[in-house]
A and B are shown apart, each in its own frame.
Chain A
Amino acid sequence: MDLFLQQILNGIMLGSTYAVVALGLTLVFGILHIPNFAHGHLYMLGGYVTFFFITLLGFGFWTAMISSMIILALIGILVERVVYRPLRDQPHINSFISAIGALMFLETFVVVAWGPQGQRIPNPYPNPVEIGGIILTQQRLLVIIAAIVLIVLLQLFLKKTTPGTTIEAVAQNREGAMLVGINVNRVSSMTFAISTATAAAAASLVAPIFMISPSMGALLGMKAFVIVILGGLGSVPGAIFGGYILGLIEALGGGYISADYKDVFAFGALILILAIRPTGLFGREEVG
């Protein structure tokens, strides 16, 4: 029973990361229709930037995380401008190839700068806490809470602020938004900045628990795509629930069935579900 609860908590923690990362991706892929396949790699870079601020500049954990979010927001804007905007009116496959170029660059850049081996960020909150018989470290609890805070803040931003509602407007009707004078370029930049900053936050939060490594972005990026496709393009609730569900499936599947094959569950599920519904579980439209 304890093991079961332990796995559930692990699943929720893992799912929190997935939810935050998928949320950022669904904004970019679902709303701007940009298949930002480098999303996982930007997440990875976010972890490394935090690592850099803590180990080399001696920042505290929170300062480092916020600095990393700002840096990644800027990098996100740059990536959108350089990698995707020139290809906006071309087939999706071209953006996808461009994205592969970007991720090769990012991964190799990190390998060259920090080496191929994993790095560990010192855990700022290593003390254990006990909740109902389950012992977990404060950092794990922090990941769960911070993810919820991030998700709520992002929702408030999208629903209650003017810049947030312009993103919603573009999501619902791109031509209409342009007609009423919304600058789609600016919305693209802003969406990218938010998307990459949240990814950086997610990476920084879990970095003290898992190691960071240059290859950690690839699988996570793919999982984020799986979540977004299954949860419905551009659907914020779909990304959040999808993230938690995938986290739980992996933790339970990995704990009870096979740790080696835990990633196969997610990817296999995608292929199986696309067999039944080519546009995803909640997909309304296809991207070209």
Chain B
Amino acid sequence: MAVRLFFKEKWFYLLILAFALTVPFLVPGRYFFQIIIMSCLYAMATLSMNLILGYTGQASLAHAGFFGIGAYGVGLMTKAGISFWAALPVSALLAAFIGLLIGLPTLRTRGSYFAIATLCFGVIVSIIAGSWVSLTGGYTGVVGIPKPTPIPFPVIGKLSFNSLTAQYYLVLAFLLLTLFVMHRLVFSLQGLSFMAIRNNEALADAVGINTFATKILSFVIANFFAGLSGGIYASLIGSISPSTASYMLTFNWLVYLLLGGVATLSGPIIGAFAIPVLMENLQFLEEYRLLIFGVLLIVVIIFSPRGLMGVIESVWNKSKAKNPVRKAGGEYAAEGGKPDQAI
């Protein structure tokens, strides 16, 4: 391969994975462990929100709504006796399908219109969750949701999810799955067509990309993973209520995403871990948490709209552009160096 179109950093990922696997031995206590598990779930949600908002440039504010659909799906189904392992994919697919139905009208609109329409849908979900008492339990919500069904193994017995460590590994596996799918999508022509729509929809259309179908695809995938993370949330936390689908949750993820780094893969994860952990250490600020988030959001969007990892990535890209030989090595000089010869 002469020029690497989609680069990957294998070593970097292995290092992170090694760290992630040892986390259960490093955490100081149960409470902190709970926070880490929540962060994994929120990282999944933020990563998927990043696909539609960060990469495709469509500000979907219904994300918590789809998280809630997944959560209620798993909560109600597992309480009715259905296995978690059946309820989870069904709920995630339900979120994806409702996403398709909502995407068809709303993705025809642009910019603020789309943001408002999706926000309206998010609010509708939480109103229904609060008002359809016979199904959802109204504002008290659903409580006593069983933990994920144990997985039987022939020799060693069965793997149950009562311990925090087992729960952590479960969430970690799903977080890695999300990251894997996002990585494959982003570093591909499919991902580039998402970014093409974000950067210049008219040009994307002119070069032959079916922009509407591409936006629908991005929205549906994003909502599938929102539903997936919601479903796991319901089972691990054990209780859900209309606030599980509240737009305030969407706004929280927006803060994680923007501070961590929009349109990067590491940014949403860093945001979803660093901010809650930081807030835990600044307990006295609890009351002022959203006050600070609000100011940070404004400051970041004005002065550094791509967030922490966005800044790092653009510095990295710039240094590579200056010394192209360093990264692409001899490959670059061999073929690309002499124009006209490549034809």
Contact = CB atoms under 8 A, between A and B. Distances in A.
A109 B105 CA distance: 36
- Sorted from nearest, which 10 A-B pairs have the closest CB atoms? A275-B105, A101-B297, A105-B294, A104-B294, A267-B120, A260-B131, A101-B298, A35-B112, A92-B111, A108-B290
A278 B254 contact: no
A108 B293 CA distance: 10
B116 interface: yes
B291 interface: yes
Interface residues of A, number: 52
Interface of B: 53, 57, 59, 102, 104-106, 108-113, 115-117, 119-121, 123-124, 127-128, 130-131, 247, 251, 254, 258, 287-291, 293-298, 301-302, 305
Contact of B128 (A108, A264, A271): A264
Given A91-B111, A100-B251, A271 B117 contact: yes
Contacts of B53: 93
Interface of A: 29, 35, 37, 82-83, 86-87, 90-98, 100-109, 111-112, 218-219, 222, 225-226, 229, 258, 260-261, 263-264, 267-268, 270-272, 274-275, 278-280, 286-288
A274 B121 contact: no
A271 B298 contact: no
19 contacts: A37-B116, A82-B298, A94-B305, A96-B112, A97-B59, A97-B254, A100-B251, A101-B297, A103-B294, A106-B294, A108-B294, A226-B120, A261-B128, A268-B120, A271-B121, A274-B113, A275-B106, A287-B110, A287-B112
Contacts of A272: 105
A270 B301 contact: no
A92 B131 CA distance: 34
B105 A260 contact: no
B301 A97 contact: yes
B110 to A, nearest CB: 5
Contacts of B297: 97-98, 100-101, 104
Contact residues of B: prevailing secondary structure: helix
A287 B113 contact: yes
B207 to A, nearest CB: 19
B106 A108 contact: no
Nearest to A286: B110
Contacts of B296: 101
With a 10 A CB-CB cut-off, give which of B113, B127, B247, B258 has the most chain A CB atoms. B113
With a 10 A CB-CB cut-off, give which of A229, A268, A271, A279 has the most chain B CB atoms. A271
Given A82-B298, A87-B301, A261-B127, A229 B116 contact: yes
B298 to A, nearest CB: 4
A101 B131 contact: no
Contacts of B305: 90, 94
Nearest to B293: A104
A268 B124 contact: yes
B51 to A, nearest CB: 15
Given A112-B288, A222-B116, A288 B298 contact: no
B120 A105 contact: no
A145 B164 CA distance: 61
A102 B294 contact: yes
Nearest to B296: A101
A58 to B, nearest CB: 29
A112 B291 contact: yes
B117 to A, nearest CB: 6
Contacts of B57: 91, 93
B272 to A, nearest CB: 17
A96 B287 CA distance: 25
Contacts of A270: 116-117, 120
A82 to B, nearest CB: 7
A108 B298 contact: no
